[in-house]
Structure 1
Amino acid sequence: MEKIESPASKIKEEFEEHLKVNNIAGIRNIAEMYYPADVAEAIKDFKIKDLILILRFLPTEDSAEIFTYLDNTVQEEIIDQYTSVEIRELFDEIFTDDVVEILEELPANIVKKILKATTPESRLDINHILNYDDDTAGSIMSVDFLILNTGQTVKEAISTIQKQKDDVENVTDFFVVDELNNLKGYVDIRTLFFSDGDSSVETIMKDRVVYAYTTTDQEEVINQFKKYGLNNLPIINSENKLVGIITVDDVIEVIDEEVTEDIHKMAGIAPIEDTYFKTSVWKMVRSRIFSLLFLMLSATITQVIITVFISIYIKASPRQADDWNPNDFVTILLAPLITVLSSTSGIAGGQSSTMLVRAISLNEVQSRDFGRVMWKELRVGLICGTIVSVTNILRMIIVYAIQFEGNLDEKILWFTISTLTVSMFLSIVVSKLIGGTLPIIAKVCKLDPAAVTTPIVTTIIDILSATAFFSIGLAFINQI
């Protein structure tokens, strides 16, 4: 199956040519020829002065739509340099639910500048949505929608639609309310235009309407869209008043977020709201470290089980303890630890590969980002490796203190602890690098990163961690 390539690179070249000669007409023609999402992708890496110049050359309606597709860091720079008038004109063209989504990702000083520049009516609508809890229908609904009244005729309803068509997000299905704003039904555009102009809207509307409350969980909203095949869902408050709608576009965004969250959780990653490159190294470490520590500590159970059975085998062996040399004891001590190492390094690599596969599928990471990903995963690996290794030293001291009844004077025990600790640190760092870069390599080779990454990452990490572990152990044995 051939992949449709984004025209972003072509758009970028055309913009650069027109910018050199300040060809306003040419820039406007480009913006009209391509989708706003593609234009945003093409200009996102421009110098901020050139990017702002392009937006200023375009009609406000076009620049506003392109603005919504830009990264939050770019949006922040634009707002920082825009005048109050430009900000007000820009945000007047953006639907309120999209404005709220933008504001939630920007720093407080930029949000303050935006709210100060917007009209009182816009601020009221924005604050109305912001008051709802995250992950509820109220937090993602749009208040820019058109309502019809039960007392209107079809002719009056069509006139209302024609007047307000540019100010609302949806012009295919219309919800009908009574004089008290109670939701009564809905009517689609086709029914309206093929009905008699003097008929009452109430007589042609469908009164069996699916709805949700402002406090309904987002996942339940998604289920309603799936179950009933909806394009739009009306949202009512506790008094059954119509206060907003959720469109299928809004639901697609929520589905992406929910799927990403579930995928991350399965890989032992705490939910992260930002994209891969917007997430700081420390935030990424915090999202991964607890699963790593939990798995390492829980692997102690496997270590103890193997140790117990090794002791049983030794007792059943015809060889006497006096016949054992130090190397034999080191081998016996090392054997149970390989499971701790392989499981910990395995999940470390799995976390990185899962996050990168998902980021690639959402177009957050491109092939050209190989170096940036390596640098980020290296730093995450170094920090995670240090934390896990230090914790492992404490864990091993406790385990051996119990196993050998507090006698930790034997040099062999400390060689064993050192072997696992050094191996674990190196394995976690390497696992993060492999897990982070292999999905990109798979994409470059035109392979499906999701299909090939997991088995290859697991195999490579197992081989490297086992080799490193026993090689370091061998080096320590030679020092005894």
Structure 2
Amino acid sequence: MKELSELTLEIQKVLQTHDKKRINKLFNTYQDVDIASALNQLDDEAEIIATFELINKKYQTTLFPYLNLETQELLVKNLNNNDLKLLVNNIYSDDLVDLIDDLHKDDVKKVLDLTSAEKRLELNNILQHDEQTAGGIMSVNFLKLPQTLTVSEAIKAVQAVHDKVENVDDLFIVDDFETLVGQIQLKDLLFNDSEAKLETIMNTAVVSTKIDKDQEEVAQVFKRYDLNSLPVVTLDNKLAGVIAIDDVVDVIERETTEDLQRFAGITPFNDDDPFKQRIGGMFLSRLIWLGGGMLFATIVQILLVVFFNDYGLNLADLGTVNDAKYGVIYLYVPLVFVLMGVCGIGVNQSTSNVVRALSINDDHKKLRRLVFKEMLTSLIVSVVMVVLNILRLVIFYAIQFNDIKSQGLWDAVLASSVTLILGILLSGLLGSLLPIGAKKLKRDPSLVSSPLMIGIITIVVCAIFFGLGLAFY
């Protein structure tokens, strides 16, 4: 099997020929996801649009959901209304819901204006449910068969709509009141008497889930019963939709990402996908834990000062806050624990986010954009943390020394503030580049583990802080 990078380059060569016949032949040779990846990585936006327009309409429909958000947004903005209308009305409704969730408001309005009444009804059937529930992830493009049909009638029904529904391997049977009563597989239709009624050959022990069931519990149902698809029913057991295994894989990926982010001290505000997170959300999600880390580290700083006193350090021998010995013991040593703690959290956040991103996708464009967002977030966070650090030190020193005018105190404030900025920026840089470097060297990015990164940043912060301290004494 070819490496993905080789495959992408091979497909790109064909895409860049702008030969319509050769481009469409790709769809008989390669998987849609590989073609989408190659199209995503074209550098020229005009080339992406022109190439997509050369693709046959039926292939556009299957390809579009695999494109990344940036490419989808580009096409939504630039395709003419007729082509876009045909596209949005032919992709599956659950894929269209995912697109609408991520688009800007103006683009959402454009898409909704072009959807048919039938498609809009399907969208409403999904959007009315919480996106974290079975109803929010189900597909409404499915086939349900009345139990009174014969096998031959059921086969004709499948043939009539097979290209409009996502799955015809598992077929669900309803009664006259749309209540789910059974299930049958397509192969069973082929090997049963053509005149047999579905109600006589269907499996009545159907595993289903309620429409308001949490998506994580839905994933557990798939795992427990080893399912490929799962019917979703209303509270009165009426068939409302079907969840396919690929939707559950997406759920498991999102839940795993969210769990890992929370464990690393990141609370997703606008998306758990590392590539889709916005700067504002990244900033808020990290600031909470960094602020909390600074608070706990401040308690350590207080304890150190208290124990130094209890151990009977002779303040007269140490001098004043403006003397080097006093400054090192009573100002710098307690303060370095705060700086190492905060920067340790920062590097853990960046490393965990990038390692998780690499496990999802190694698209070069996406990774470059992610590194840029990590660095910009680190810069914004560092400025805010410096402000918080100055405020807390003013209060801390006012209580400890009953004085905040001494030069030695402000030297400590300045040195710690500069160290915070450099430390948090280096945390973002190292946390982003080292996992990507490991990936480039064909090593597992998770080898760049949190203990390793925290150890590195601890050494760096300690060296920067005490190095700056030397400049003041």
TM-score range, shorter chain: over 0.9
**Superposition deviation, residue 275 in structure 1:** 4.5
CA-CA distance at 1:242 after TM superposition: 0.5
1:397 aligns with 394
In the alignment, what sits opposite 2:250? 253
Match of 2:200 in 1: 203
Mapped to 2, the partners of 1:61 and 1:372 lie a distance apart of: 31
Q: Give the conservation status (yes or no) of the 8 Å contact 1:359–1:365.
A: no
| CA-CA distance at 1:85 after TM superposition | 2.3
Per-residue Cα deviation, 1:179-210 (whole angstroms, up to 9, x for no partner): 11001111112222222222221121111111
Is the contact made by 1:60 and 1:93 (CA closer than 8 Å) also made in structure 2?
A: no
Q: In 1, Cα distance between the equivalents of 2:345 and 2:316?
A: 40
Aligned-partner residue type, residue 23 of structure 2: I
Q: Equivalent residues in 2 for 1:74-113 (5 A)? A: 74-113=71-110
Residues 274 and 356 in structure 2, CA contact (< 8 A), matched pair in contact too: no
Q: What is the rounded CA distance, in whole Å, between the counterparts of 1:217 and 1:300 in structure 2?
A: 39
| 1:101 CA displacement | 0.9
Q: Show the counterpart of 2:359.
A: 361
Question: Offset of 1:373 from its aligned partner?
Answer: 5.0
Counterpart of 2:115, as a letter, is T
Partner of 1:51: 48
Amino acid at match of 2:307: F
Select 2:341's aligned residue among 340, 343, 352: 343
Q: Measured at CA, do residues 430 and 467 of structure 1 come closer, stay the same or move farther in structure 2, by a change above 3 Å?
A: same
Contact preservation (8 Å) 1:137, 1:221? yes
1:221-370 equivalence runs, <5 A: 221-271=218-268, 272-273=270-271, 275-314=273-312, 320-325=314-319, 326-333=323-330, 334-366=332-364
- Cα distance change of structure 1 residues 167 and 14 upon mapping to structure 2, 3 Å threshold: same
Amino acid at match of 2:412: T
1:53-85 CA-to-partner distances (Å, cap 9, x unmatched) read 333322211011111111222222222232332
Query: Match for residue 474 of structure 1?
Result: 470
The answer to which of 449-458 and 174-183 deviates more is 449-458
Q: Could you tell me which residue of structure 1 aligns to residue 34 of structure 2?
A: 38
Say whether the 8 Å CA contact 1:438–1:453 is kept in structure 2: no
- Aligned amino acid, residue 77 of structure 1: L
Offset from partner CA, 1:19-72 (integer Å, 9 cap, x none) = 2xxx32122112332111111111124433333333332221101111111122
Q: Which residue of structure 1 aligns with residue 408 of structure 2?
A: 412
Instruction: Determine what percentage of the aligned residue pairs are the same residue.
Output: 37
The code of the aligned residue for 1:304 comes to I
Measured at CA, do residues 218 and 374 of structure 1 come closer, stay the same or move farther in structure 2, by a change above 3 Å? closer
Q: How many residues align?
A: 467
In 2, are the aligned partners of 1:438 and 1:457 still within 8 Å (CA)? Answer: no
Equivalent residue, structure 1, for 2:112:
115
Distance 1:400 1:168 in 2: 69
Which whole-Å deviations, capped at 9, do the CAs of 1:215-246 have from their partners, x for residues lacking one?
A: 11111111111111111111111232101000
Amino acid at match of 1:7: L
Helix, strand or coil at the partner of 1:187: strand
Coordinate RMSD, CA, aligned? 2.1
How far 1:309 sits from its partner (Å)?
A: 1.1
What SS is found at the alignment partner of 1:335?
helix
Aligned pair partner of 1:160 in 146, 157, 160: 157
Alignment correspondent of 1:434: 430
Q: CA deviation at 1:7?
A: 1.1
